[in-house]
Amino acid sequence: MAKHYQEELEALQLALVRTQMAMAGSDERVVIVLEGRDGAGKDGTIKRITEHLSVRATRVVALPKPSDRERTQWYFQRYTAHLPAAGEIVIFNRSWYNRAGVEVVMGFSTATEQEAFLRDAPDFERMLVESGIRLVKIWLDISKKEQAERLEARRTDPLKALKVSDMDKVAQAKWADYSAARDTMLTRTHTPFAPWHVVRADDKKDARIAIIRHILHRIAPADIAKDVKAPDPDILFPFDMAALADGRLAK
């Protein structure tokens, strides 16, 4: 099983390299937004996506909390500074969607600011897409039990010490609040031009394979994408309202 995973991963990584080579010298610009619960596997997924890509044409953006100056700016302003130029891929490990997730649960912004974000985010993303950016939005979802096990592993493994954050301490206690914020975010910001896709990420390896397949189908030239299998629909699927109640999203 491990051998099969590694072979599949390497084939997909080669397709990513070929895709980036095709982007070189073109006007193609790609933004990938990876969101999900604490411990959902964003870091590991990004590592596999970027492992063999050009460091000059690939950037991973994981912004810290805003400075006092940044708090006075238009909310999206500090994110626009990191958008790609021609031939570049930018991956947001967390993104402007902080305002719809952790800020809601932890009270880091006001209800008025949060409502304004839900209203404005689709317009902001429409402008990105209309400017020619290929925008891929993925939500990594895991079960409460799986999250508890992963957060415990962080606390007990010294090699994972840098992953431990204050937010880990409340992720389980505020599970229901995070679920409610997720559901509102997906419902209000899923649009035809910037749709959400959900990944059931309890199995990290299956999730990584599905995500890379999905990205390739969204951004790769047709001659590359045609040789890539579609993601397993039981693992990665486009968001729809039925998912809020049919068990596909962890509650």
Average pLDDT over residues 7-15: 98
Least confident of 115-124, 152-161, 179-188, 209-218: 152-161
C-alpha pair distances (Å), 104 with each of 20, 57, 161: 36, 33, 26
Give residue-wise pLDDT tens across range 146-155: 999 999 988 8
Distance, in Å, from the CA atom of 235 to the CA atom of 211, rounded to the nearest integer, reads: 9
Note if the pTM is more than 0.85. Answer: yes
pLDDT at 65 over 70: yes
Distance, in Å, from the CA atom of 195 to the CA atom of 238, rounded to the nearest integer, reads: 7
Cβ neighbours for 77, distance < 8 A, ≥ 6 positions apart:
70
- What are the residue ranges of helices labelled H in the chain? 2-23, 42-50, 77-80, 102-106, 111-130, 144-156, 168-171, 175-189, 204-219, 222-225
What pLDDT is stored for residue 106 in this prediction?
95
Average pLDDT over residues 58-66: 95
Helix, strand, or coil (residue 61):
strand
Give residue-wise pLDDT tens across range 180-207: 999 999 999 999 999 999 999 999 999 9
pLDDT at 30 over 80: yes
CB 68 within 8 A of CB 127: no
Cβ neighbours around 148 below 10 Å, total = 15
Distance, in Å, from the CA atom of 115 to the CA atom of 137, rounded to the nearest integer, reads: 20
